[in-house]
Every structure is written in structure tokens, then in C-alpha cells.
């Protein structure tokens, strides 16, 4: 039924532009299920975002086992090393680089509104994994931007792994966003990092809205047509990331922003990872429990792309039914349901849609649909035809080199 070498997969290829790096596997501790977590609220199971206004951070990751000494000594190349090597070799998939500003001016405009350099603050609009997000307007071009703010001192105090802090995650997020450019991915515009300031800012394109699964049942569902349109955008953006050997790690409705024209853009790369070749084996567990794939719970290692695809399946379920399929009362209960419970779908659901959700939510990642399978599924194609391929900057550079030869 599924064509593993689909035309969509070929269209999302990137001329093997990152293939120069030697194969090595990243190894990280994987958090285990802890029976002491029985008092965790459902809110924690659904969302791990934290506002840095009160400097309250989730330090649950600090309980991860560090492994034995030999394992630590043999640890393969980190995502940061892979990404830095890509920077050194000029293999970023962007036509124009992200602006980097090393001087911060915190002032006020004539109306008393706070300003960061050229940006005038209007209101707070949300929180990322480690910092708050506010809406700003540029006094230069008049456009709105979402600016993500961090305190470097607090990021350095928060340990997320034996040898890494939250600052590692944030800097990796910046590196990844400097690499990529796609219509279905939130664009990083500027990084403001003054060595003399404790503040650190990411200036992102402003996306007006987001769809959130409220868990209130089918009344919250989006309907098949809207869900199909959103899913096509998600598959396009995520396939681009995977083709560039980047695993998102936290696909969920909260990280899917919707423009005024109804286009989905994938955001929040705070737990994303880069890998060197086609081996996407990871150890560090992905972002949000209720979207976690069963193999991430059961095994010491898992494959990042398959885990991302499972999260797409949970997201599609939420889009259609307006609730989470495996949400329990505690973390342990949720993990038990993810591993053991079958997916239950309404009898009157569109058979094609039912087939797609079941294919995305296979417990065994080896049998799970791939993004290429999803792109060619009859329900996804619908009346719109195949998902259009995207000619990224890497492909354009490859074409130019081939033409020159």
C-alpha cells in the first residue's frame, strides 16, 4: 500500500548536501517512567512550556541517569557539533543569513512603551519552553515580530542532562533555526545577544494565531477539510526538516502556528536534534508526554523521525476529534495507555481518514507510516492533488552547480 520511494520523498531530498559528515551516533540518557509522578496534573502531560517571568523552571530532566563512565567517554558527536560544522562548511539552507546583533539598548518610546533596539513592545503573547514571548513592532519597517526573551543566568543554572544546561537547548534551537527556511516553518529574523547583558532575544516572524486542542470532545474538532489542509502543511514542513537531518521532537498543536491566510508554520525547536546521516537514533526523550511515541517509553533508544511521525498522528487525531487519544490521570497512566491501549476511532469515521490515523499510530515504528506514505495517502491528496514539492535553497544551489558544469 505504501510506496517507500515516493515522488514526494524525492522532491524533499536535498542533494545530500550534509553527507560529508562521518557517521557517529548520538547517545543520551532516556528518562524512565517514575511511579513517584502520580500527582502530576494533566496540564503537565499536555504542555511543558514555562514562562521565565517568575524564573520557575521544570527540572524533572535532571533525574536522568548519566550512564556509566565508559559510555560518557564514548559519547558521539552532539547536535551542536554537527550544526557548527554545517555553519563552518556553509551548508545552511537559507538564501540570506539571520541577522546577529551584539549590542542591546533597552529604552522607551515617546508613549512610554518599552523598546529593545528598534522594536517597540506591545503585549505578551505566550511562552516558549524556557522563555516568554511578546509582540513587538519594528520602528524601522513597521512590521510585527514575536520576540522570545531569555535570562542567560537562569538558563545556565537549569540542567537538562548530565553535561548540558537549558542554555545548550536554546543555543541549539538558534543554530537549527539559522539552518532552515521553509514556508511551513517559523522564520528566525534576528538574534540579539549582548555579551554585557543577561538578556538574550530571538526575533521571529509573527504568526497571528494557533490552534489548540482543548480536549473537550468532537465539538472542538476542526472538520476534515481544515484538518486536511493543516496536515498537508505539517507534512511539508516536517519532511523538509527530516530531509535536512533535523528531528523536531515536539510536534503538537501548541507548536503549530496559523497565519491569517490559514497556513501552518512549525515553531519551537527547543528540543530538536540534528543528526549526521540517515541514522536518526536518539536517546533523549522528546518533548510532551501525551504526544510521546511508545518506543520512546519502552526503549533506551528510538528513531527521531518515526517519533515525530507518531506525534503527527496524535495531532491529526486531535484535529479531528478534539481530544487526546491516550491521556491518563497521571504520567504513569498516560505512558501505560500509549504503550498498551489500542487506538479507538468512531465507527462512522471516514474510512480513508481512519486508515490514515491507524497507520500513523502503529505502536511498532517499523510498521508505522512514513511522512512520504502520508503525503501519498488518498485522504491527504483529496481534491487538492499531491502535496507540492518545495525547491529549497540547497536544491537551488545544487541545480546551479550542475548547470555550471
Q: Which residues are catalytic?
A: 250
Q: Is 132 annotated as a binding residue?
A: no
Distances in Å between the alpha carbon of 362 and those of 235, 237, 306?
Answer: 18, 22, 10
Distances in Å between the alpha carbon of 343 and those of 68, 75, 350?
Answer: 38, 37, 15
Residue 112, class by beta-carbon neighbours within 10 Å (0-12 exposed, 13-18 middle, 19+ buried)?
A: exposed
Strands annotated E in 154-296: 159-161, 164-165, 188-193, 199-205, 209-210, 246-247, 256-258, 264-266, 273-274, 281-282
Residue 332, class by beta-carbon neighbours within 10 Å (0-12 exposed, 13-18 middle, 19+ buried)?
A: middle
Nearest to 188 by CA among 124, 74, 255, 94: 94
C-alpha–C-alpha distance, residues 379 and 285, integer Å: 31
**Grid coordinates standing for 323?**
481530544
CA 107 to chain centre: 33
On whether the CB atoms of residues 341 and 326 are closer than 8 A, the answer is: yes
* Cell 550534509 sits on residue: 18
Annotated binding site: 148
Annotated binding site for ATP: 148
Amino acid at each position: 500500500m505504501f510506496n517507500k520511494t515516493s515522488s514526494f520523498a524525492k522532491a524533499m531530498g536535498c542533494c545530500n548536501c550534509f553527507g560529508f559528515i562521518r557517521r557517529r551516533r548520538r547517545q543520551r540518557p532516556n528518562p524512565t517512567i517514575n511511579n513517584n509522578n502520580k500527582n502530576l496534573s494533566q496540564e503537565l502531560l499536555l504542555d511543558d512550556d514555562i514562562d521565565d517571568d517568575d524564573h520557575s523552571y521544570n527540572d524533572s530532566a535532571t533525574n536522568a541517569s548519566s550512564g556509566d563512565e565508559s559510555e560518557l567517554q564514548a559519547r558521539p558527536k552532539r547536535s551542536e557539533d554537527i550544526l557548527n560544522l554545517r555553519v563552518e562548511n556553509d551548508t545552511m539552507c537559507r538564501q540570506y543569513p539571520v541577522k546577529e546583533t551584539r549590542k542591546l539598548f533597552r529604552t522607551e518610546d515617546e508613549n512610554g512603551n518599552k523598546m529593545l533596539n528598534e522594536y517597540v513592545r506591545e503585549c505578551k503573547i505566550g511562552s516558549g519552553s524556557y522563555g516568554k514571548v511578546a509582540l513587538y513592532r519594528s520602528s524601522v519597517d513597521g512590521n510585527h515580530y514575536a520576540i522570545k526573551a531569555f535570562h542567560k543566568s537562569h538558563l545556565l543554572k537549569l540542567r537538562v542532562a548530565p553535561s548540558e544546561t537549558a542554555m545548550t537547548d536554546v543555543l541549539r534551537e538558534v543554530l537549527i533555526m539559522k539552518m532552515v527556511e521553509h514556508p511551513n516553518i517559523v522564520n528566525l529574523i534576528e538574534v540579539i545577544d549582548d555579551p554585557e547583558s543577561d538578556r538574550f532575544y530571538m526575533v521571529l516572524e509573527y504568526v497571528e494565531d494557533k490552534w489548540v486542542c482543548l480536549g473537550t470532545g468532537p465539538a472542538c474538532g476542526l472538520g476534515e477539510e481544515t484538518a486536511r489542509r493543516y496536515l498537508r502543511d505539517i507534512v511539508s514542513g516536517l519532511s523538509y526538516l527530516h530531509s535536512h537531518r533535523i528531528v523536531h521532537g515536539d510536534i503538537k498543536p501548541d507548536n503549530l502556528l496559523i497565519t491569517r491566510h490559514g497556513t501552518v508554520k512549525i515553531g519551537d525547536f527547543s528540543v530538536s536534534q540534528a543528526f549526521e546521516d540517515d541514522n536518526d537514533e536518539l536517546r533523549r526523550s522528546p518533548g510532551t508526554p501525551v504526544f510521546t511515541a511508545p518506543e520512546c517509553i519502552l526503549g533506551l533508544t528510538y528513531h527521531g523521525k518515526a517519533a515525530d511521525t507518531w506525534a503527527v498522528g496524535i495531532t491529526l487525531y486531535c484535529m479531528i476529534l478534539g481530544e487526546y487519544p491516550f491521556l491518563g490521570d497521571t504520567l504513569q497512566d498516560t505512558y501505560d495507555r500509549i504503550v498498551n491501549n489500542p487506538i479507538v476511532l468512531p465507527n462512522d469515521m471516514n474510512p480513508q481518514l481512519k486508515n490514515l490515523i491507524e497507520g500513523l499510530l502503529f505502536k511498532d515504528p517499523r510498521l508505522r507510516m512514513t511522512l512520504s506514505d502520508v503525503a501519498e495517502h488518498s485522504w491527504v491528496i483529496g481534491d487538492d492533488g499531491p502535496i507540492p514539492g518545495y525547491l529549497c535553497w540547497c536544491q537551488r544551489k545544487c541545480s546551479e552547480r550542475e548547470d555550471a558544469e
